[in-house]
Amino acid sequence: PFANRLSFDAPRSVQRFRCLANNVALRFAKPILTQGETLVKKMKELSANNGGKYVSVHLRFEEDMVAFSCCVFDGGDQEKQDMIAARERGWKGKFTKPGRVIRPGAIRLNGKCPLTPLEVGLILRGMGFNKSTYIYLASGPIYSANRTMAPLLEMFPNLQTKEMLASEEELAPFKSFSSRMAALDYTVCLHSEVFVTTQGGNFPHFL
């Protein structure tokens, strides 16, 4: 991303201005700030028994992320068909070029597969969090959510998302813009006691 190149390549004098812009001048638009603060307030109210403290998790397990990874998860026919269709929709032939070899096993051994909701739950449990912990999940639509989210919800029943905390009417001004939805997630994650990310990228980098 350009932001990363700028942080390495720009001279020190430019870096000073960049820091000033990032930390002082740049602000989210008022509607985003207002809705984001409302979500934070609701999370703190829900977790009042824990002193208003909650854990935020940036989970990248959307269909396009799963498809692009070329990893195998449940290994079923439905998953295979879904991933073939998603790759063709998003990348039109990139993964079916002559000579292109995809090795899901090697990708997994190299640690390049996105963490599943189940794996995230196991990591959180391993860190000492339990069923009473309030979790804010920052994510787009999770692939096969009814199935893949079930074990995470069983381990952490106090899990919330922006869609659970806000009404459709409240989210309507943001829903057609992925960057605005991400800005809401960013705000709630920023105010959490613990932030856990499952994938690199701009979101955790900026946070």
User: pLDDT digit string (tens) for 61-98?
Assistant: 999 999 999 999 987 899 999 999 999 999 998 988 88
**Number of domains observed in the structure of the chain:** 2
In angstroms, the CA 31 to CA 170 distance is 10
**Both structure tokens of 67:** 């498809």
Higher per-residue pLDDT: 18 or 90 = 90
Same domain, yes or no: 127 and 175 = yes
Instruction: Give domain status of residue 17, yes or no.
Output: no
pLDDT at residue 137 in the model:
98
pLDDT at residue 3 in the model:
55
**Both structure tokens of 100:** 């292109």
Convert the pLDDT of each residue in 105-158 to its tens digit: 999 999 999 999 999 999 999 999 999 999 999 999 999 999 999 999 999 999
Residue finishing a domain among 46, 77, 109: 109
Domain span at 190: 28-61+115-206
**pLDDT-wise least confident of 5-9, 128-132, 189-193:** 5-9
Same domain, yes or no: 156 and 184 = yes
pLDDT at residue 121 in the model:
97
**Both structure tokens of 186:** 């960013």
Same domain, yes or no: 134 and 178 = yes
pLDDT at residue 179 in the model:
93
What is this structure's pTM? 0.86
Q: Are 189 and 58 in contact (CB under 8 A)?
A: yes
In angstroms, the CA 34 to CA 132 distance is 28
Same domain, yes or no: 78 and 143 = no
Is the dihedral angle over the CA atoms 69, 73, 79, 81 positive or is it negative? positive
Same domain, yes or no: 105 and 142 = no
Q: Using pLDDT thresholds of 50, 70 and 90, give the confidence band for residue 103.
A: very high
Instruction: Give domain status of residue 52, yes or no.
Output: yes
Instruction: Give domain status of residue 134, yes or no.
Output: yes
Side chain identity at 71, as an amino acid letter? C
Instruction: Give domain status of residue 21, yes or no.
Output: no
Same domain, yes or no: 96 and 197 = no
Q: Report the mean per-residue pLDDT for the chain.
A: 92
Instruction: Give domain status of residue 82, yes or no.
Output: yes
